[in-house]
Amino acid sequence: MSSAKDGRDLMVAKKLLIIHQGALGDFIMTFPVMIGLRKTHSQIDALCQKKLGELARKLNLIEKSYALESAAVAPLYGDHPDRVDAKAAALLQSYERIILFSLSRRLQENIERITGPNVLCIPPRPPAGEKIHVSRFLWKQIVEAGFFAEVEPSPHPSALLQMLPQQHCLEPHSAPVLIHPGSGSRHKNWPLKNFIELEKVLRKDGLRSEFILGPAEIYLRDGLATTHAPNPPVHIVDDLLRALSLIKGACGFIGNDSGLSHLAAISGLPVTVVFGPSDPVRWNPLGPAVAVVRSDLDCSPCHETDEPTCKSPDCFKGISPGMVHAAFWDLNKGIRRIDC
């Protein structure tokens, strides 16, 4: 091997497995990396949550996916990796390189006991407080590991949109605006009453809205059902492909810092996202049309720090429905289209 570039060239046309333990938002942050890796590898597969693997296959980011929840790979997380199912071990050994997005040193060591030292372990996010977008951080780690034939900048998020061609408009009484009042953490949720008020204002604008909830957010349904009549539709969605279908049929999206906000953004939908204790510098959704609404309190962001999260975050108190409504329309003024 005569040079670093020669080493990178040797990785072209290799079979690669990505292992990711995170949820939807974290997983989406790896999409630019997956797009880049497709240029230098003949096959990319993923071991991740079953529903995330289905989504990545739908977006043509990977060829095959394997469920992280499978009992066959459960021993990888304990003290006895030798008890991993023989077929699962053979599967891991069939990949020339493995990228593990994880903070677990034990998991890396257990995988290497089966596959040998072909595992690149990358933290799924930069250290707390580091002011770099998560997707850029991940891209930097991959570049430094020599996985690309040439060092190139991270692709613009528009590269993702080519996989999901669609048209959007904001004509009254056309496609709905999706409102997602939940997230993976209740501490990141703007108060439900604000989303309800926002829906009323959008209705006065001539737009119709529909709420979307994940299975862990069903507790919000009762609050939505008792607001007013007629009540807007509430979709309870566990299937990410169903969520993607709803997103493709919408004309806008309003939500918290959540996985569904990230999914809506990469699909090209105009997304207005409310940030409270989390940091938009690190977690701003990737997409061509994203508006962030947040307060400027000195104490925020704090979601990823060791400081205790407030029971009633002050960072949300300074964000009114009127502010989010204004941000929604400011975002959509420049992208309004009449081709739905």
Residue 252 sits in the same domain as residue 128:
no
Please state, in angstroms and rounded to a whole number, the distance separating the CA atoms of residues 260 and 278: 16
Residue 244 lies in a domain: yes
23-39 pLDDT, tens digit each? 999 999 999 899 888 88
Q: What is the mean pLDDT of residues 321-325?
A: 96
Residue 11: its pLDDT value, please? Answer: 47
Contact 52, 243 (CB under 8 A): no
Residue 4: its pLDDT value, please? Answer: 39
Q: In what order do the strands lie in the sheet with 119-122?
A: 65-67, 41-48, 14-20, 97-101, 119-122
Residue 338 lies in a domain: no
264-309 pLDDT, tens digit each? 999 889 999 999 888 999 999 998 899 999 987 555 555 555 555 5
pTM score of the predicted model: 0.88
Residue 163 lies in a domain: no
Residue 147 sits in the same domain as residue 232:
no
Residue 164 lies in a domain: no
DSSP at 77 = G
Residue 162 lies in a domain: no
Residue 101 lies in a domain: yes
Residue 62 belongs to domain with CATH number: 3.40.50.2000
Residue 197 sits in the same domain as residue 315:
yes
Domain count, the chain: 2
76-113 pLDDT, tens digit each? 988 888 888 899 999 999 999 999 999 999 999 999 99
Of 155, 188, 207, which marks where a domain is finished? 155
Residue 208 sits in the same domain as residue 121:
no
Compute how many other C-beta atoms are within 10 angstroms of the C-beta atom of residue 293.
Answer: 20
- Domain, as residue range, for 123: 4-155
Residue 71 sits in the same domain as residue 126:
yes
Residue 167 lies in a domain: no
**Three-class DSSP category at 292:** strand
207-248 pLDDT, tens digit each? 999 999 998 899 999 888 765 656 789 999 999 999 999 999
Residue 141 lies in a domain: yes
1-30 pLDDT, tens digit each? 333 344 444 445 589 999 999 999 999 999
Query: DSSP letter string over 114-143?
Result: HH-S-EEEE-SSPPTT--S-HHHHHHHHHH
Distances (CA, A) of 146 to 12, 139, 214, 317: 11, 11, 38, 46
Please state, in angstroms and rounded to a whole number, the distance separating the CA atoms of residues 235 and 53: 22
Residue 142 sits in the same domain as residue 190:
no
Contact 182, 223 (CB under 8 A): no
